Chain A
Amino acid sequence: MPKRKAIVSIRECVSCGCCMKICPKGAITIPTGIHAVIDKELCVGCGKCAKECPASIITLEVTEA
């Protein structure tokens, strides 16, 4: 079964931290204030971050696991 994971458009991310706050798995960090980083191991593809992102730059994509 293909698994969906959240993908951040790094170039457009404003590092506001909304995704980090909403993520139920604590899979998102913004280590250097430049863009959000998603831990693919922890991401369950729930899509909460994509919905929350004020810039709407997070998408859910099927990635080859």
Chain B
Amino acid sequence: MKQTKKWYDYLWVVSLTYLILGFFNILFAWLGLLCFFIPLLISIIKGNKAYCNRYCGRGQLFSLVGGRFGLSRKKDIPKWMRSSYFRYGFLTFFFVMFFLMLWNTWLVFEGSGELRTAVTLLWTFKVPWQWAYHGTLFSDGVAQFAFGFYSVMLTSTILGFLTMLLFKPRSWCVYCPMGTMTQLICKAKNVTASRK
């Protein structure tokens, strides 16, 4: 039963475009919020992981590059990386870093922090990114959030590519914080549903 391709099988184009746009105008980074809210809403409303299963463009990108183009060793992921300790630990770490980013954005919004036109990779390396900044119509905080959010997106893409090369194409899915979070929501929903 070879299925014919559906429109959502091409969402990897959107993910790729998103990453490229960030090199031209950092404000496009705001669009990435869709990758946060859509999976959450699907899991909260529908109680499933249709986002991961069908619509995740990043997952498609990894299976295309790692699978079709063969840029993957296709080895088993180490056991510790698929353990719940690591998955929940990574989710927590991701959350903490995300809130730190929001805090820095807030400081710029209220005026006590200065806008830094840099993208922080792997939470450590500050890469100058001023070429993609052409000013904002609003507060500098709007741009600060864009830089921060793009940092999150690019960092997770880099990690995903690394584990794609080392292990199986979609190894990122094993420890993807959004995936872990939506699965937790589904679990919670299922517990409450079975109590009814």
CA–CA, A20 and B1, complex, Å: 12
Asked if A3 lies at the interface with its beta carbon under 8 angstroms from chain B, I say no
B47 adjacent to A56 (CB under 8 Å): no
Whether the pair B1, A25 counts as a contact (CB closer than 8 A) is yes
Interface size class of A (residues with CB under 8 A): 20 to 34
Known contacts A14-B87, A33-B43, A34-B190; A54/B52 CB under 8 A: no
Distance from A13 Cβ to chain B, minimum over Cβ atoms (Å): 9
- Cβ of A55: which chain B residues have Cβ within 8 Å of it? 77, 82, 174
Residues of A within 8 A of B (CB): 12, 14-18, 20-21, 24-26, 30-34, 51-57
Interface status of B182 (Cβ within 8 A of chain A): yes
Q: Which of B24-32, B112-120, B164-172 contacts A (4 or more CB under 8 A)?
A: B164-172
Interface size class of B (residues with CB under 8 A): 35 or more
Given contacts A33-B182, A34-B186, contact A54 B87 (CB under 8 A): no
Closest residue on chain A to residue B50 by CB atoms: A33
Name the interface residues of B142-182: CB closer than 8 Å to any CB of A.
167-174, 179-180, 182
Given contacts A16-B53, A33-B43, 19 further A-B contacts (CB under 8 A): A14-B82, A14-B180, A15-B179, A16-B59, A16-B170, A16-B173, A16-B174, A17-B49, A17-B53, A21-B53, A24-B2, A31-B48, A32-B48, A33-B50, A51-B74, A52-B168, A54-B170, A54-B171, A55-B77
